[in-house]
Amino acid sequence: MPSPTGPARPGPAADRPGAADRAAASPRPAAADRPAASARPAAPGYRAVFAVPEFRSVFAAHLLSSLGVVVCEIALSLLVFDLTGSPLLSALTFALGLLPYVLGGTLLSAVADRYPARTVLVVCDVLCALAAAGMVAPGTPIALLLFLRCVTAAIAPVFAGTRAATLGEILGDGELFVLGRSVIRIVNQGAQLAGFAAGGLLLAVVQPRAVLAITACTFIGSALLLRLGTRARPARDTARGALLGASLTGTRRLLADRRIRALLLLTWLPPTFVVVPEALLIPYGDLLGTGPAGLGLLLCSMPIGAITAETLVGTFLSPPARTRLTYPMGLFAVLPSLGFATGPSLGWSVLLLVLTGTGISYNFGVDRWFVAAVPEELLGQAMTVMQAGRMTIMGLGMGLAGVAAEYAPLQMVMPTAGVVGSVCVLAVIFEVRRTDVGCGPAVPAAGVP
For the segment 370-382, what is each residue's pLDDT rounded down to a tens digit?
988 998 888 888 9
Residues 223, 119: Cα–Cα separation, whole Å: 10
Q: Do 222 and 68 form a contact (C-beta atoms < 8 A)?
A: yes
Helix axis angle, 258-279 to 379-407, nearest 10°:
40
pLDDT score of 3: 36
- What residues contact 347, with CB distance under 8 A and at least 6 apart? none
Q: Tell me which residue of 337, 317, 322, 341 sits closest to 411, measured CA to CA.
A: 341
Q: Tell me which residue of 267, 257, 258, 433 sits closest to 364, measured CA to CA.
A: 267
Q: Is the pTM of this model over 0.85?
A: no
Residues 110, 423: Cα–Cα separation, whole Å: 34
Q: Do 171 and 180 form a contact (C-beta atoms < 8 A)?
A: yes
The separation between the first and the last C-alpha atoms of the chain, rounded to the nearest angstrom, is: 18
Nearest 5°: the CA angle 213, 197, 394 is: 90
Render each residue's pLDDT in the chain as its tens digit; 449 residues. Answer: 333 333 333 333 333 433 333 333 333 434 334 444 334 444 578 889 999 999 999 999 999 888 888 888 778 877 887 787 776 666 666 666 666 777 777 777 788 888 899 999 999 999 999 999 998 888 888 888 888 888 888 888 888 889 888 888 898 877 888 999 999 999 888 887 777 667 667 777 778 888 888 889 999 999 999 999 999 988 877 666 777 788 888 889 999 999 999 999 999 999 999 988 888 887 888 788 887 778 778 888 898 999 999 999 998 888 899 999 999 999 999 999 999 999 899 999 999 999 999 998 999 999 989 988 998 888 888 988 998 888 888 878 887 888 888 888 888 999 999 999 999 999 999 999 999 754 443 433 333 33
Handedness of CA 213, 215, 220, 225 (dihedral sign): positive
The single-letter DSSP state of residue 6 is B
Residues 443, 388: Cα–Cα separation, whole Å: 27
Q: Give bridge partners of residue 6 from the DSSP assignment.
A: 3
Q: Do 33 and 26 form a contact (C-beta atoms < 8 A)?
A: no
- Residue 374 CB coordination number (10 Å): 24
Q: Do 35 and 172 form a contact (C-beta atoms < 8 A)?
A: yes
Instruction: For residue 259, count CB atoms less than 10 angstroms from its CB and return exposed for 0-12, middle for 13-18, buried for 19 or more.
Output: buried
